[in-house]
Amino acid sequence: MRRFFTEPENIRGDIIIIDDRDDIRHMSRVLRMSVGDEIEVSDSSEWEYRAVIKTMDRDLVEAEIVDKQKFSGEPVTDVTLLQGIPKQGKMDTVIQKTTELGVKTIIPLFTDRVITSEKGNIPKKLERWRRIAAEAVKQCKRGVIPKVEEPVRLQEAAEKFPAFDMVLFPYENERTTTIKEALRNALKEESKKPVKVAVIIGPEGGFSDEEAVLIKERGGRGVSLGKTILRTETAGMAALAMIMYELEL
């Protein structure tokens, strides 16, 4: 069943209002839906509903709720990916794939080795990245669209580290601690699962030595993702899958 997204204020008693014209066009023209058909609706924050279409106009659909439950498709672990902005197009892949894997927030990072041509035209890129996140979430039946935040410099992002239970720093020069050990140690030491987890991934050229020092000083735990060097767009996906394996499955 196709899932639609609306805002909590559009849930009025047992009626759900859908007023996004693109969604309505998709419903009627592509899915050929009409009165009496059932849809799945997420309120984008907490609840998901099954509802039956009661009225259908060009700019307004009303559907009656038949069932309501808390999101089942959302991981409990709240992962923020801090991603050094990679070369053209690769950020699209990172956003799409990490959304499927359950990321909650993506913060694009300006770091020493982000190439200059990727630093421009940010408002347009941000709009595109947000659209990709919204599309990916529909496909994978999650309830919440991951936030893609405004890009910030690494130094600024580091100020937010204390807000996380754990900041994982996959670093290709880290030979001693694997991500598995870091996660399992955290489980042992804290006796409760880390919930808010940050993962910080460098761009193609990785992090400079000074950046690596800064990240560790601010509490980032250097971890290895394995014996091979992964491309930047692979590293985020791999880290996400490993975190979910340890904390969710």
Interface residues toward ligand SAH, by CB under 6 A: 170-172, 201-202, 205-207, 224-226, 228-230, 232, 235
Taking the complex as a whole, the smallest distance from the CB of residue 228 to ligand SAH amounts, in Å, to 6
Taking the complex as a whole, the smallest distance from the CB of residue 242 to ligand SAH amounts, in Å, to 11
Give, for 5, the enclosing helix (H) or strand (E).
strand 3-5
Which residue, 194 or 222, has its beta carbon nearer to ligand SAH? 222
Give, for 238, the enclosing helix (H) or strand (E).
helix 232-247
Taking the complex as a whole, the smallest distance from the CB of residue 174 to ligand SAH amounts, in Å, to 6
Taking the complex as a whole, the smallest distance from the CB of residue 101 to ligand SAH amounts, in Å, to 16
Which of 67, 98, 62 lies closest to 81 in space, CA to CA? Answer: 98
Taking the complex as a whole, the smallest distance from the CB of residue 211 to ligand SAH amounts, in Å, to 9
CB 128 within 8 A of CB 158: no
Which residue, 63 or 237, has its beta carbon nearer to ligand SAH? 237
Which residue, 194 or 202, has its beta carbon nearer to ligand SAH? 202
Name residue, tokens 């987890």. Answer: 197
Query: Six-digit token pair at 77?
Result: 């672990």
Taking the complex as a whole, the smallest distance from the CB of residue 99 to ligand SAH amounts, in Å, to 19
Which residue, 99 or 224, has its beta carbon nearer to ligand SAH? 224
From its phi and psi, is residue 49 left (phi > 0), alpha (psi between -120 and 50) or beta? beta
Number of H helices, E strands in the chain: 7, 13
Q: Which residues contact 37 (CB under 8 A, 6 or more apart)?
A: 52, 53
d(Cα 43, Cα 33) in Å, to the nearest integer? 20
Taking the complex as a whole, the smallest distance from the CB of residue 223 to ligand SAH amounts, in Å, to 7
CB 199 within 8 A of CB 247: no
Angle at 137 between CA 131 and CA 139, to 5 degrees: 110
Which of 212, 205, 201, 199 lies closest to 116 in space, CA to CA? Answer: 205
Which residue, 6 or 111, has its beta carbon nearer to ligand SAH? 111
Which residue, 107 or 225, has its beta carbon nearer to ligand SAH? 225
Which residue, 102 or 206, has its beta carbon nearer to ligand SAH? 206
